[in-house]
A and B are shown apart, each in its own frame.
Chain A
Amino acid sequence: MSDAVPAADPQAMAVAVEGASKTFNPGRANEVKALEDIDLDIGQGDFVTLIGPSGCGKSTLLRLIAALIDTTEGSVLVNGKPADAARLDRDYSMVFQRAGLFDWRNVSRNIELPLELMGWKAADRRRRSAEMLDLVKLGEFARHHPAELSGGMQQRVAIARAMSFHPKLLLMDEPFGALDEMTREHMQNELLRIWSETRITVVFVTHSIPEAVFLSTKVVVMSPRPGRIAAVIENDLGERNEATRDDPAFFANVTAVRNALRGGH
Chain B
Amino acid sequence: MTGSAAGAGEDAEAVDDPMVFEQLLRQRAAREQRRARMRRTGRQVVVLGLFICLLAVLYSLYKVVGGGIDDAQSDWPLIGSILPESDDLKMPPVLDIVSGIFDEPRGTDEPFWSIVGKEAAFTLREAAVGFAIGVVVGLGIAIVLTTSGRLERALVPHVIASQTIPLIAIAPIIVIWGRKSFDFLPFEWQDWMSVSIIATYLTFFPVTINGLRGLQSPRPENLELMDSYAARWGQTLWRLRLPASLPYLFAAFKIAATASVVGAIVGEISAGVKGGLGRRVLLEAQRYTTGPERLYIAVLGAAVLGIFVFAAISSIEYALVGRKGRETVT
Contacts and interface: CB of A to CB of B under 8 A. Distances in A.
B161 interface: no
A148 B4 CA distance: 15
Interface in A131-148: 140-141, 143-148
Contacts of B240: 102
Contact of B325 (A68, A99, A148, A152): A148
B22 to A, nearest CB: 5
Interface string A94-125: 10101111111000000001101110000000
B221 to A, nearest CB: 5
B228 A148 contact: no
Contact of B230 (A88, A96, A116, A182): A88
A104 B321 contact: yes
Contacts of A101: 330
B23 A94 contact: no
B228 A87 contact: yes
Nearest to A144: B1
A93 interface: yes
A93 B330 CA distance: 19
Interface of B: 1, 3-5, 18-20, 22-23, 26-27, 30, 219, 221-222, 224-231, 235, 239-240, 243-244, 246, 321, 324-330
A150 to B, nearest CB: 5
Contact of B324 (A103, A140, A141): A103
B219 A98 contact: yes
Interface residues of A, number: 36
B195 to A, nearest CB: 35
Interface of A: 63, 66, 68, 87-88, 90, 92-94, 96, 98-104, 113-114, 116-118, 140-141, 143-150, 152-153, 171, 182
29 contacts: A68-B224, A87-B227, A87-B228, A90-B230, A98-B330, A100-B221, A102-B239, A103-B324, A103-B330, A104-B243, A104-B246, A104-B321, A117-B230, A117-B231, A117-B235, A117-B239, A140-B4, A140-B20, A141-B5, A141-B23, A143-B1, A143-B3, A145-B1, A145-B324, A146-B328, A149-B23, A150-B23, A150-B26, A182-B18
Given A98-B219, A100-B221, A100-B222, A148 B330 contact: no
